[in-house]
Amino acid sequence: MNTKYVFVTGGVASSLGKGIVAASLAKLLQARGLRVTIQKFDPYINIDPGTLNPYEHGECYVTEDGAETDLDLGHYERFLGVHMSKANNVTTGKIYNTVITKEREGAYLGKTVQIVPHITDEIKRRMLLLGRTGQYDVVITEVGGTVGDMESQPFVEAMRQLQWELPEEDFLSIHLTLIPYLKAAKELKTKPTQHSVQELQSAGVHPDIIVCRTEKPLTPELRKKIALFCNVRPGHVIQSIDAWSIYQVPLNMHEEHLDELAVRKLEIENFTQPDLGRWKEFLERLRHPKCEVNVALVGKYVELQDAYKSIQEAIVHAGAANDCKVNVKTIHSEQVSEENVAEMLAGMDGILVAPGFGERGIPGKIAAVRHARENGIPFFGICLGMQMAVVEFARDVLGYADAASTEMNPGTTHPVIDLMEEQKTTTVKGGTMRLGAYACQLKPGTLASRIYGQPVVQERHRHRYEFNDVYRTAFEQAGMVFSGTNPDTGLVEIVEIPSHPFFIGTQFHPEFKSTPETPQPIFAAFVKAALDKKQEQ
């Protein structure tokens, strides 16, 4: 069978959940026994979102091979349970970078380099790249942005060309739109969808399937109307109704026959019905929790829902694993102080201090760590959260009053967190952190080793600073245990305090590897510890 290419575009508005629909279709096809991957093409000029402030674009998701990517890749991994790579996220910046580099090398032999064909050829090359590896039966491409945006035009044009260059049965185009409900008129409105499809068609791309995001069910009449005005069959208009969980969407899409329509159009033969047993089991647990806990997420980007996406999702997976609903209270670290911390964190069964960069909100993070440490409240620090746990311990237990990370205070007399050696000469910002998966060796008998139940694990990193090894013995003598280290470099990866019921900090980001079907062990143990804490009260 040839590799099949599915393209997902969006219209009317952004944030319709294109990534979730793409991931849901991928999940369904995978559950039918097909080898599936998803890639995202983003129209912005940044080479990758690594240099973007989380307020701009939400979390930056890190892959095993160290790519800093769009957060939709996190959804792809969580739904599919397979690793994405550098090749799965392409931006306009990357495309232009390649073309301009080639031009400087003289590769265009004196030709005028233009959007069509040079930019579009490079887009097409990348759209087909993963398919050409022979590793996949289906490659789903999500085109970021909204059809009609000036910046997405080259992507849509590349799609248009592929629509004719690929065999008809290897190409499928899905368009996701919004059907707004007007309360005053008590009516669902199809006009924006008609316009959006017109826009797509005027670019020469014909949608095979229209997925309508809606708050209310679409009536058969409405589906017929959309089909009539948008040039598709009535059965090819499907609804994506607001779901109680994003993880319910694959099942909703299956009920709407999205996967069946896809395999038909793509002429995929001998397909089986999707086997979603484990997925459904997870949903069952998620839907019917037996208990509840409150967990604080202390960070400085809390205003934006997507800034800690993978952490939020990892908590959901960990909750389901414990048959427990986890109420996450996001707390702005800038609003926390030593004076108000007890009040701000009252009623919390667990405290998670989030990753981050820069000075803002640091005193609040340190106050939150201290509150957790002194009151025996389960604590989990991730990356900057772990670093602040180290700083807090240095200040309060070791008595180093001005202990700090040199990121916040370069002049400190106790640089307990310091720049990594290889970072000291780095001036370029993009893609230069310690990125991607590294091995972490666990010390037998520690909390970390009990949690993972294996001697060496691989976890993903994204940071420039690390624990300063000069202080190792002082910390150990005062009761902090370094339970995870990099076997090659000796870098500290996990810290814990054994005299505390549950106090753990990781230099890496375990949230990137959590999926509904394989919840991340530290998150699961953290929720369990929060539950124990609650029950003992």
Please list the alpha-helical segments (H only) found in 188-308: 191-202, 220-230, 249-255, 258-265, 277-287
Q: What is the DSSP string of 62-97?
A: E-TT--EE-THHHHHHHHH-S---GGGEEEHHHHHH
CB 122 within 8 A of CB 99: yes
Residue 113's contacts (CB-CB under 8 Å, 6 or more residues apart) are 99, 103
Active-site position among 60, 212, 383, 440: 383
Asked if 383 is an active-site residue, the reply is yes
Nearest distance in Å: CB 137, ligand GLN:
36
Q: Write out the residues near ligand GLN by the rule CB under 6 A.
A: 355-357, 383-384, 407, 462-465
Comparing CB distances to ligand GLN, the nearer of 371 and 463 is 463
What distance in Å separates the CA atoms of residue 47 and residue 30, rounded to the nearest whole number? 30
Q: In what order do the strands lie in the sheet with 171-179?
A: 89-91, 36-42, 138-143, 4-10, 171-179, 209-214, 237-241
Report which of 432, 412, 413 is spatially closest to residue 423, judged by C-alpha positions: 432
Nearest distance in Å: CB 407, ligand GLN:
5
Active-site position among 317, 371, 461, 509: 509
Burial 67-77 (b: 16+ CB within 10 A, else e): bbbbbbbbbbb
- What separation in angstroms does the CA of 10 have from each of 6, 228, 489? 13, 19, 45
Nearest distance in Å: CB 534, ligand GLN:
28
CB 260 within 8 A of CB 31: no
What distance in Å separates the CA atoms of residue 82 and residue 366, rounded to the nearest whole number? 36
Comparing CB distances to ligand GLN, the nearer of 359 and 476 is 359
Residue 534's contacts (CB-CB under 8 Å, 6 or more residues apart) are 291, 293, 294, 349
Three-state SS string over 469-515 comes to HHHHHHHHHCCCEEEEECCCCCCEEEEECCCCCCEEEECCCHHHHCC
Comparing CB distances to ligand GLN, the nearer of 383 and 394 is 383
Comparing CB distances to ligand GLN, the nearer of 177 and 468 is 468
Asked if omega into 410 is within 30° of 0 (cis), the reply is: no
Comparing CB distances to ligand GLN, the nearer of 79 and 465 is 465
Comparing CB distances to ligand GLN, the nearer of 37 and 506 is 506
Asked if 414 is an active-site residue, the reply is no
Comparing CB distances to ligand GLN, the nearer of 68 and 256 is 68
Nearest distance in Å: CB 218, ligand GLN:
43
Please give the DSSP secondary-structure letter assigned to residue 14: S
Nearest distance in Å: CB 363, ligand GLN:
16
What distance in Å separates the CA atoms of residue 447 and residue 467, rounded to the nearest whole number? 19
Nearest distance in Å: CB 40, ligand GLN:
22
In this structure, what token pair is assigned to residue 109? 């032999």
CB 159 within 8 A of CB 143: yes
Nearest distance in Å: CB 511, ligand GLN:
11
Q: How many separate helices (H) and strands (E) can be counted in the chain? A: 18, 23
Comparing CB distances to ligand GLN, the nearer of 10 and 299 is 299
In this structure, what token pair is assigned to residue 202? 């005027």
Beta bridge partners, 90, equal 41
The answer to whether the Cα torsion of 498, 504, 505, 509 is positive or negative is positive
CA angle 419, 299, 525 (to 5 degrees): 90
Active-site position among 122, 157, 392, 511: 511
Nearest distance in Å: CB 479, ligand GLN:
24
Nearest distance in Å: CB 462, ligand GLN:
5
Comparing CB distances to ligand GLN, the nearer of 463 and 534 is 463
In this structure, what token pair is assigned to residue 407? 């990121």
Show which residues are catalytic.
383, 509, 511
